[in-house]
């Protein structure tokens, strides 16, 4: 019997221990201050055969229920499956609950100290969402970020309220990074709730109304939520070192690299240097190809991603070949990747014409993310157009009759047919060291012997310097050299001079 009692004792102690450990998870049910009254009553008689009965009542005893504080913040260790994106605002919502048996205050420390963020972002807002609409409402909600002093919010017994923390994710946040928000700083292990407050730096704790003292003192709690940055692929693609170049539009799909091929050998391979940039927030690979409809008829296009050692032919005779694209190696977030494109036009391509090859880079992580750049070949790009106008003041024949003694004005209109520089980061095509030479007896010319110089009639609209000398054959004043200098794309000018038909 004694042994049996001992066993029961052990079971009882175990039950008490279990109750104690679970206590923190349950709210106090009986309100503090409740008066529990107890009075006993009895009846009796002095003769069992006599029905007369007497009664008796004890005095009343009262017990007033003590105030017990309690606080809980949830969730703990929450890792939502949805991801956040760079530059977005992530919303973290906590629930703060009064586990005590009386209406208690919850205090948040000054200047947002009760809220901490770990990770690539900044806390934009933190507030007690009194009206439960998810947004901060001045005058209604309690700001716990911009609060110069500690603030409290009142919670009824078992009552709860949401605390919303809004975090702006850094624009440079990379995929897989995490942003953790802690509300409160209770030590120990999950669920971190209903502990004795120790007034540490980042606490959330109860703050009893002045008239009440809880038997277990002030309590603190903590919750934490961690969000993960998702992958946001992006790519730009442009001229060498200028992946973000913009062309006309302005657009990052019309940027360009202008080059030239000799008009007489248009099938000479021309190599372009291009650069793509991984504008996404995670490492990615990219396919390189000629955009649909972006190949020149009859051309061959090859791409090299190793600096020009190995070339892959992606366009043959103007159409995609058996290997229509090349895939890069992994490119780190924010990094550039250089590649080369070799374009060979058909022989006999029309001179003084622009031929465009549109090269497209496409994210492998998200194939909807793509960007173009234009590799443009001009089959020669300095155009010369000559005209001759006769002025006849001899009185013989009409005003424009080319009779001996009449003047012939030669006009050479020159222009760089490449497009004028536009956008940013593009490679334009200047005509450098432009020199226009008129030599009166270099075949088929014969004007050195059939005409004479008309002095002071030489001019260049761009201010080119004009030197007049003996022709190759030694005829005086029969060679003109107009040094124009640099002529940018889209620029033009005229060089003019007069000769008088020998009489
Ligand atoms: Ca609100
Ligand atoms: Ca908790
Ligand atoms: Ca603490
Ligand atoms: Ca581009």
Domains of the chain are 71-229 (2.60.40.10), 235-379 (2.60.40.2310), 382-501 (2.60.40)
Digit-coded pLDDT (tens) for 156-175: 999 999 999 999 999 989 99
Ligand 4 centre to CA of 326 (Å) is: 18
pLDDT at 434: 97
Tell me the pLDDT band of 6, cut-offs 50, 70 and 90. Answer: very low
Residue 292 scores a pLDDT above 50? yes
Separation of alpha carbons 467 and 462, rounded Å: 15
Residue 267 burial (10 A CB sphere; 0-12, 13-18, 19+): middle
pLDDT at 28: 75
Nearest ligand to the CA of 204 is 3
Digit-coded pLDDT (tens) for 432-480: 999 999 999 999 999 999 999 999 999 999 999 999 999 999 999 999 9
Positions of E strands within 345-406: 354-363, 370-379, 382-391
Question: Per the structure block, which two tokens stand in for 331?
Answer: 């490119």
Q: Which of 180, 161, 171 is nearest to 72 (CA)?
A: 161
Ligand 1 centre to CA of 142 (Å) is: 9
Separation of alpha carbons 165 and 145, rounded Å: 9
Cβ-based neighbour number of residue 359 at 10 Å: 27
Ligand 2 centre to CA of 496 (Å) is: 89
Ligand 4 centre to CA of 373 (Å) is: 4
Residue 336 scores a pLDDT above 70? yes
Residue 70 burial (10 A CB sphere; 0-12, 13-18, 19+): buried
Nearest ligand to the CA of 183 is 2
Ligand 2 centre to CA of 221 (Å) is: 6
Ligand 3 centre to CA of 424 (Å) is: 56
Digit-coded pLDDT (tens) for 25-38: 567 789 998 999 99
Ligand 4 centre to CA of 361 (Å) is: 9
Cβ-based neighbour number of residue 22 at 10 Å: 9
Ligand 2 centre to CA of 119 (Å) is: 21
Digit-coded pLDDT (tens) for 114-173: 999 999 999 999 999 999 999 999 999 999 999 999 999 999 999 999 999 999 999 989
Ligand 3 centre to CA of 221 (Å) is: 8
For 300-320, b/e burial (b = at least 16 CB within 10 A) is: bbbbbbeeeeebbbbbbeeeb
Nearest ligand to the CA of 200 is 3
Q: Which of 42, 143, 159 is nearest to 95 (CA)?
A: 159
DSSP letters, 376-390, are EEEE--EEEEEEEEE
Nearest ligand to the CA of 199 is 3
Nearest ligand to the CA of 361 is 4
Question: Per the structure block, which two tokens stand in for 143?
Answer: 């700001």
Question: Per the structure block, which two tokens stand in for 414?
Answer: 């020159």
Ligand 1 centre to CA of 179 (Å) is: 23
List Cβ neighbours of 425 (8 Å cut-off, separation of 6 or more). Answer: 238, 239, 242, 244, 245, 246, 255
Mean pLDDT of the chain: 93
Ligand 4 centre to CA of 356 (Å) is: 14
pLDDT at 433: 96
Residue 359 scores a pLDDT above 90? yes
Digit-coded pLDDT (tens) for 218-272: 999 999 999 999 999 999 999 999 999 999 999 999 999 999 999 999 999 999 9
Ligand 4 centre to CA of 247 (Å) is: 8
Digit-coded pLDDT (tens) for 40-76: 999 888 887 877 788 889 999 999 999 999 999 999 9
Q: Which of 431, 430, 427 is nearest to 341 (CA)?
A: 427
Nearest ligand to the CA of 184 is 3
């Amino acid at each position: 019997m004694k042994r049996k009692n001992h066993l029961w004792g052990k079971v009882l102690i175990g039950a008490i221990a279990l109750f104690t450990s679970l206590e923190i998870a349950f709210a106090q049910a009986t309100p503090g201050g409740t008066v529990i009254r107890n009075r006993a009553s009895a009846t009796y008689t002095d003769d069992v055969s006599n029905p007369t009965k007497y009664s008796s009542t004890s005095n009343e005893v009262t017990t007033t229920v003590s105030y017990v504080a309690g606080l809980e913040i949830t969730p703990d260790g929450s890792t939502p499956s949805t991801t956040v994106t760079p530059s977005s605002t992530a919303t973290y919502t906590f629930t703060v609950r009064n586990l005590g048996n009386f209406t208690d205050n919850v205090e948040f420390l000054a200047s947002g100290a009760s809220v901490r963020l770990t990770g690539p972002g900044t806390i934009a807002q933190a507030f007690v969402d009194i009206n439960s609409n998810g947004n901060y409402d001045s005058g209604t909600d309690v700001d716990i970020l911009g609060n110069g002093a500690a603030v409290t919010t009142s919670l009824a017994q078992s009552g709860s309220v949401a605390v919303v923390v809004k975090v702006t994710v850094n624009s440079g946040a990379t995929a897989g990074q995490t942003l953790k928000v802690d509300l409160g700083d209770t030590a120990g292990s999950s669920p971190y709730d209903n502990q004795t407050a120790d007034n540490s730096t980042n606490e959330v704790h109860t703050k009893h109304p002045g008239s009440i003292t809880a038997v277990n003192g002030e309590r603190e709690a903590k919750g934490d939520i961690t969000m993960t940055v998702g992958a946001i692929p992006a790519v730009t693609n442009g001229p060498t070192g200028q992946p973000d170049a913009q062309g006309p539009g302005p657009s990052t799909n019309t940027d360009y690299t202008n080059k030239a091929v000799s008009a007489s050998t248009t099938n000479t391979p021309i190599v372009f240097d291009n650069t793509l940039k991984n504008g996404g927030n995670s490492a990615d690979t990219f396919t390189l190809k000629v955009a649909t409809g972006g190949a020149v008829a009859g051309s061959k296009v090859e791409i090299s991603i190793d600096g020009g050692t190995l070339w892959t032919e992606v366009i043959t005779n103007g159409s995609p070949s058996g290997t229509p694209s090349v895939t890069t190696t992994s490119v780190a977030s924010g990094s550039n990747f250089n590649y080369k494109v070799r374009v060979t036009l058909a022989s006999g391509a029309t001179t003084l014409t622009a031929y465009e090859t549109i090269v497209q880079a496409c994210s492998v992580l998200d194939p909807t993310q793509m960007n173009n750049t234009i590799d443009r070949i001009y089959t020669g790009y300095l155009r010369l157009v000559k005209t001759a106008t006769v002025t006849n003041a001899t009185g013989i024949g009409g005003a424009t009759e080319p009779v001996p003694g009449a003047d012939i004005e030669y006009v050479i209109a020159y222009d760089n047919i490449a497009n004028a520089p536009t956008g940013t980061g593009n490679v334009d095509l200047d005509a450098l060291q432009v020199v226009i030479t008129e030599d009166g007896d270099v075949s088929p010319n014969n004007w050195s012997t059939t005409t004479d110089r008309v002095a002071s009639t030489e001019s260049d609209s761009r201010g080119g310097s004009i030197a007049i000398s003996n022709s190759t054959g030694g005829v005086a004043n029969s060679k003109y050299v107009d040094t124009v200098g640099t002529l940018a794309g889209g620029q033009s000018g005229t060089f003019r001079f007069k000769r008088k038909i020998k009489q």
